[in-house]
Structure 1
Amino acid sequence: MAQKDAGKRNFYALLLEGTLFITGLAFLDADTVVSVFIHTFTGSLKLSGLASTLRTASSIIAQLLLGPYIRRIKNMPAFMSTIMFLFRPLCLIMVPILALKLDPNTTVWIFLFIYTLLWASDGLVVVPWTDLLGRLIPGKKRGRLLGNQQVLGGIGSLIAGYIVKTTLDNARLSEPEKYSMLFSLAGIVLLFSSVAMLFVKDTNTNTSRPPANMLEYYRKLPGYLKINKDYSRMLAVQLIGSFSAAVIPFIVLFGKGTFGLSPAQVSTMIYIQIIGSLIGGFFWGSVSQHMGNRYVILVSMIISCIIPSLGLISLGIHRTVSPLVVLVPMCLLAGINKGSWMGYTNYTIDVVDEENRPAYFVLTSLITFPTTFLAYLVGVMADAFGFVPLFIIHLSTAIIATGLALTLKSPNDSDNTIQSSSLS
């Protein structure tokens, strides 16, 4: 009975933490708010792309540094809570920075430093969090938990998005005042998400382990690719699919720069993308629970094919039809697809054993690390060549990834179907 109560408490604590985290990030969304903030202050697409690169790269580097020592953490919830309380409220620092009215480039670089620290802290948390998810939440409930996180976080993001839109549309506020409000709200909500983690209890605490040899740890990691073919196929899809996803942060800027959208139209597109995230929470949670995580990955790749196709269509019809006819579904689909990460996470949990699960997540981070620079390269290409080449590359890689996703197998929920994933 006590174990059942602990399981229920952990379910709702993780649900609340994730919901508040998603809501808080709606005020700091790299694909919308952050990219528009940077472009407003500097006019640079390259720096907008750099923000997305730093977000992913800092998280992955932190995961790689923590990886060899993950099994030596005796109390994962306590470790995670400490990291969250130290770093998640950092964006509150931007309030006095913006009040100082520094040079716009200086302001943006300070923000990028804070933004990097925020996502590096998330990298320190994400592998322990995923390990807890796999150990504390049964297979059938994992999809429901992540789906509910997306739904409730989507509702929170919808409220946050309305605040973002209202704030950005307010002509009586200066740009620093607008973003001071948004960054302060982000810091407060993210702080509350840290509080939720205090209620997670892990009864299966780790015993003391001998010191990890970092070089030996990373030397062994590539061997996991050979012994688990299901994981290897999924990783190939994720790797190639990341090429198609690199253009997503630029959809709003594409509409703003190519079609001369007004500030009100830009804020509306941001809001539509947030609505898409809410829809995605319902959608991906349902697909994961009823069809399996293979189909989450497959459908997300099909959506990745549709988005650049719409971008190319918009360039051909905008003289006769309002570009919003195409830009609105682009933003909606981009928002929906943002929640598809749960497919890769749950599929990995499904096909690898519990003991080596953290190693597989670290391996994923290691192999996908080079793709973190794609967003910056996309920004450079957009500045130099425009968006047509980007949409063509996006579409081509999405088609390849979709073909590979068709080869994925649907693992059963029973533990005896998990492939042997140990190197020993």
Structure 2
Amino acid sequence: MRPPSNNGPVEFVRRNYYLGIINGALFHCLSQLVSPATVLAVFAMRLTGSAAMVGLLTSLISLGWMWPQFLLANVLEPLPLKKPFYLVSALGRIISFSCLAPIVLFLARTNPHLCFWLMALVFVVYASVGATGMIPFMDIVGKSIPEYKRGSFFGYRNAFGALLGLLSGAYVKRVLGEDSGLIFPDNYLHLFQVALAILVVSVGAFCLVREPVRRVQKRRIGLGLQLQRGFRILRNAADFRRLMLVRVTMTFAGMGGSFYAVYCIEQLGAPESMVGAIIVVGVCSSALANLLWARVSDHQGNRRVIVLCSAFGCLTPLIAVVTSLFSGRPVHLPWLGTLPLNVACYLATFISAGIATGADMMGIMNYLLEIAPEGRRPSYFGVSYAVITPFMLAPWAAGALARATSYQTVFVIAAVCAVVALSQAVRLREPRGSLVGRDM
């Protein structure tokens, strides 16, 4: 079936559809190489030896992705074309990420704490300039990809990205392994250099999309009026308000994510190369799950995706707590070699986490695209980021709590928050009138 005319010509839609998938697949691959939950978390622990610093790094990166969104909504909403902001974002991300290699090269051995803080600064800048491209990205997707193809669009981005992530995980395992010939910090430096090359190709692909022109509200409102509009949206849009409640509670439910890999290595005694195996396990489960989530999104709606993924979000921290109590007797696993039983079973944590990852971009973002009026999407996305931004400090608080008590305490609290998120997700309304699957 041909896409609706308001999404542009068929060739227009197809071009953006496939370029967006290439962009997303490579971005997911890049994200595995510099994931705050795995590679960066273990690297930060090696530099500082502090769980609080690991959580702080995750929080700073998350805040970097969030804080510009609300301010940018006011700037972008009156503009008929928003792609120039994505181009600026792409250039800024490449420049900032390029600074990471010399910092690690010259400081990781001689002054690890300074290396940590400068690395954190690089990733805050990288995330902040990257955030300037998020609203243009979502607006271009909303204008050029029909709603009945967005599930498959994000699903294929995630699925192909997960397949590339398998290669990333195997590569991380090899580079961080003792037989790689690379010692700390050269092994991490090598990973960051590879990630930079992938970043260039990823953002370059989306720079080639063609943006449809739409009628927009020309008048730009002030920040004060924008805040009033944001509160009015929260007050009057019940679907949006409940979605924000789901997202906030899911943020707290995910606060243990920064420490699953660190706990596996620091407390359960797994080798550092296990980071690569963790990535492989997570992305393999994510790849298979996202094919299912894409079909569910297209045929049953994004509300169902959010509910199912929230359910797996409840399981993840519980699995981490239970499996860590198992004995440490050695067992042999293919490719992984001989591991303690508790470490081998603990990998189920990352299977569950991988299955749950579809809730954010595919479930929540698609749901928001559906309930937000086309001309006001930037405002809705801006308000959503403004609401969630203060709660991005949850991983830092979790790190401080883990340092004061234990990792298990953090995991139990995360499980409770996940149950609350699920209880709110089931109360979301399905916004589509018809859920019949269609083809492009």
TM-score bucket (shorter structure) = over 0.9
The match for 1:323 is 342
Q: Which moved more, 1:266-275 or 1:325-334?
A: 266-275
Residue type matched to 1:31 in 2?
A: A
Change (3 A) 1:88 1:21: farther
Please give the secondary structure, in 1, of the residue aligned with 2:427: coil
Distance in 2, matches of 1:109 and 1:253, equals 19
Cα distance in 1 for residues equivalent to 2:94 and 2:291: 26
The offset of 1:114, in angstroms, is 0.7
Superposed displacement of residue 205, structure 1: 5.3
The one-letter code matched in structure 2 to 1:48 is V
Letter in 2 for 1:403: S
Residue 24 of structure 2 aligns to which amino acid in structure 1?
G
Is the aligned partner of 1:146 residue 2:165? no
Q: Helix, strand or coil: the match of 1:259?
A: coil
Provide structure 2 residue ranges, at least 5 long, that are not aligned to the other structure.
Answer: 3-7, 330-339, 436-440
For the residues of structure 1 that align with 2:184 and 2:295, how far apart are their CA atoms? 40
Match of 1:375 among 369, 376, 395: 395
Q: Percent identity over the alignment?
A: 23
Q: Which residue of 2 aligns with 1:108?
A: 116
Which range moved further: 349-358 or 133-142? 349-358
Measure the CA separation in 2 of the matches of 1:103 and 1:73. Answer: 46
Bigger mean CA offset, 143-152 vs 120-129: 120-129
Number of the residue aligned with 1:130: 138
Partner of 1:354: 374
Separation (CA, whole Å) in 2 of partners of 1:207 and 1:113:
36
The 1-side partners of 2:106 and 2:264 are apart by 31
Q: 1:188 aligns with which of 194, 197, 208?
A: 197
Match of 2:352 among 330, 333, 338: 333
1:62-87 alpha-carbon deviations (Å, 9 max, x no partner): 11221211123343223202220222
Whole-Å separation in 2 of the counterparts to 1:31 and 1:99: 22
Unaligned regions of 5+ residues in structure 1, if any? 416-424
- 1:70 equivalent in alignment to 2:76: yes
2:169 maps to what in 1? 161
The whole-number CA distance in structure 1 between the counterparts of 2:219 and 2:367 is 30
- CA offsets 1:175-195 (integer angstroms, 9 cap, x no match): 121111111111111111121
> What are the equivalent positions in structure 2 for 1:236-275 lying under 5 Å apart?
236-275=245-284
Using structure 2 for the length normalisation, give the TM-score: 0.89
Q: Within 2, Cα distance between the matches of 1:263 and 1:95?
A: 21
Query: Where in structure 1 do 4 or more consecutive aligned residues deviate above 6 Å?
Result: none
Q: 1:306 aligns with which of 315, 330, 343?
A: 315
Cα pair distance change 1:280/1:170, threshold 3 Å: farther
Report which stretch shifted further, 311-320 or 148-157: 311-320
* 2:406 counterpart of 1:386: yes
Quote how far apart the aligned CAs of 1:257 are.
2.2
* 8 Å Cα contact 2:77/2:376 also seen in 1: no
Distance 1:170 1:209 in 2: 59
Q: 1:208/1:360 Cα in 2 relative to 1: closer, same or farther (>3 Å)?
A: closer
- How many angstroms apart in 1 are the aligned matches of 2:102 and 2:414? 39
With the length of structure 1 as denominator, give the TM-score of the two structures.
0.92
Q: CA RMSD in A?
A: 2.1
Structure 1 counterpart of 2:47, which letter?
A: F
Amino acid at match of 1:360: Y
Which of 32-41 and 386-395 deviates more? 386-395
Contact 2:19 2:208 in 1 (8 A): yes
Task: Tell me which residue corresponds to 2:426.
Answer: 406
1:414 deviation in Å? 6.2
Select between 159-168 and 74-83 the one with higher mean Cα deviation. 74-83
State how far apart, in whole Å, the 1-side matches of 2:188 and 2:273 are: 16
> Retained in 2: the 8 A contact 1:73–1:206?
no
* Residue deviations 1:12-35 (CA, integer Å, cap 9, x gap): 122222222222222111111110
Count of residues in Structure 1 that have an aligned counterpart in Structure 2: 415
Where does residue 333 of structure 2 map in the other structure? none
Comparing both structures, which one devotes a greater share of its residues to helix?
A: 1
* Aligned partners of 2:89 and 2:131 also within 8 Å: no
Relative distance call for 1:160 and 1:89 in structure 2 (3 A) is farther
Looking at structure 2, the residues matched to 388 and 207 of structure 1 have their Cα atoms a distance apart, in angstroms, of: 50
1:91 and 2:97 are equivalent in the alignment: yes
Q: Secondary structure, in 3 states, of the residue corresponding to 1:316?
A: coil
Cα gap change, 1:313/1:203 in structure 2, threshold over 3 Å: closer, same or farther?
Answer: closer
Letter in 2 for 1:371: F
